[in-house]
A and B are shown apart, each in its own frame.
Chain A
């Protein structure tokens, strides 16, 4: 039995001894690894440069300021075929963020609902939730997107026979057409009132904490006022905005519904597919989180005379969040990364506009793919940094 530690405090006398010294070994190994990586990187870079030079392919990022010359079907920021490739990139990025944002919102609501239903005392409800999770989790997302897009939305009727929705909207094979409210002067008012309401609600929430310390029952008076604020004030604001806005209804033109707000079927399919898929994973995270709260908490809540629902809302859920939030963030990132499957159903997200169309039109594969990867990486790292800060601040260590 040799203990390597005994060797630490004396100089290795011979080469042979040095070769067995863990410190020396570690250093040599690291140098070798560094050399291997450097060699690999050098090979890759030099081969790429050599290949590009030999093939006379344009390189560099100059193409971003050239005219794109193609149109995009969904442009949340001003864009036309006269805009640059850089603008096309921004359109793709905006479309990715829109899908991610809406998808995350729906997936969260759906996921929490199903996760809580998984633990429902009602056997039927719990089994239904379980079936949903097992069904959705075990099939590829791409397949589910295709089902939504091709098998559901593509079988909708022609614009001429569109399904009329209540409130002046239509649903047809070209998408969902809704009335559009343009906030002429009401927009500013609406935003200001919303901000005020949120600030008030936050203040009241703090107040509620103080009230609770003071021994008021739950929900406290301040909480009630807070809910009132959050619901009533925006309602009033919306009403004001309505009064100050004009509505444009979709009307059937020669080919399509004109006017109003048209939502493309590609977008619908992507949002529905992503959110229903991610909800299954969120449901499992929520279930594990709820089960991770010690039983004593539940019993204590029952002893206080709280109903099951109250116990869930006030005792169990808040405590389970520390278990839920880290994997939940991961799912949010997954949803964002999975939105890149848009390329398979023709929704103009970052990957299909930039790594698809722009790559095809410019032929600059290296730059385009590197930019695309960098964007997703930046989103991921920013989220990770935020999570670390959040964990530190709330001193919720990851388990």
Chain B
């Protein structure tokens, strides 16, 4: 909020006074806010540094009275938090997968780097196949690492990225279906979207983990992780469909008509003319959905898979030697910080993209 005055050169002190203490009421608010900031900052520093325990090989160091954060718990368990029980000898495979993902993502996210299309194709078509064989193994002489050993941040990233990649095309199809002129297609899409959006993810996960095996013929069994992925993707597709639909509604009729006039068929009209514009419009919504999905991966704890939150919870509870009043809190702090960095990063990036597109639109 700008204050109306436009004085020439004012001292910093005056500017501060202007901003924080213009009136009595405002001054009270400022003092209260400052007090709150000071209190929170002090409490946090006190817990995380002043009273914290930094060394120790088990929880006994943290069981001293009035101890703050128990950092050894995080440093000793860091591999477990990041990779679950993935065998140590095979960890290079996970790290290589991360590196390959970054190799595709980083240039794709930088505005001025060319070759966007091949990069996107690599990420969507080539990389998942490589990642599957790297992480799971069973080919090219790599021993199989069963998904029951996957956990921690690795599992969070796998579920989130597979969920996003799988639900995106499905969401677009559902959005097109909901705006289709064919009554049955429209009806089926609406039914699916509203049905899924009306229930909690927990029940969808229960359904995919408990009921999916019953839906399939007795000869077919699917991996627990795959079941969770199916649940997450089906759930998230309905939400993405609504976001994409918002974009489709915002495209002026003229665009559709122009594509018709060019004699384009339905799929080309949508794929080449309408969808690219619609998706550009709803990038913030898509990123919000991605963030929501990323956060929701922690719910797989309820069906017995341990992502980052789950594994922190598991080790804080199951490991008696680490038991101390602050063990769990320290683990949660670590997990929270990791999630926060990822989610906040995504939202900042999407804001930057939006600004750039706006600037381009303004020409």
Contact = CB atoms under 8 A, between A and B. Distances in A.
A341 B343 contact: no
A139 B299 contact: no
Interface residues of B, number: 61
Nearest to A2: B263
Contacts of B313: 146, 150
18 contacts: A30-B182, A30-B184, A51-B213, A51-B214, A121-B26, A122-B29, A125-B33, A128-B37, A138-B343, A140-B295, A142-B299, A143-B298, A143-B309, A337-B199, A337-B201, A340-B203, A376-B203, A377-B199
B200 A366 contact: no
Please indicate which of the listed interface residues B33, B291, B296, B309 has the most CB atoms of chain A within 10 Å of its own CB.
B33
B218 A51 contact: yes
Contacts of A54: 218
What does DSSP make chain A's interface, helix, strand, loop or mixed? Answer: helix
B133 interface: no
A138 B339 contact: yes
B332 A373 contact: no
Contacts of B328: 146, 150-151, 154
A121 B1 contact: yes
Contacts of A376: 198-200, 203
B42 interface: no
Contact of B295 (A47, A139, A351, A380): A139
A341 B299 CA distance: 8
B2 to A, nearest CB: 9
Interface residues of A, number: 60
Interface string B212-252: 01111110000000000000000000000000000000000
A135 interface: yes
B94 interface: no
Contacts of B109: none
Given A2-B263, A51-B214, A366-B214, A343 B202 contact: yes
Interface string B320-343: 000001101100100110011001
Nearest to B16: A123
Interface string A23-67: 000100110011001000001100110111010000000000000
Given A351-B202, A373-B199, 8 more contacts: A30-B185, A33-B185, A47-B218, A122-B19, A124-B20, A139-B295, A139-B336, A150-B328
Given A47-B215, A147-B336, A369-B210, A351 B200 contact: yes
Contacts of A138: 291, 295, 339-340, 343-344, 347
Nearest to A144: B336
Given A29-B182, A47-B217, A146-B309, A369 B301 contact: no
Contacts of A43: 215
A343 B202 CA distance: 9
B200 to A, nearest CB: 4
Contacts of A380: 194, 197-199
Nearest to A155: B325
A29 B199 contact: no
A142 B185 contact: no
A123 B213 CA distance: 56
Given A124-B33, A147-B332, A341-B299, A366 B211 contact: yes
Contact of A47 (B184, B216, B297, B347): B216
Contact of B206 (A26, A122, A139, A355): A355
Given A146-B313, A155-B325, A123 B339 contact: no
Contacts of B332: 143, 146-147, 150-151
B181 interface: yes
A355 B200 CA distance: 12
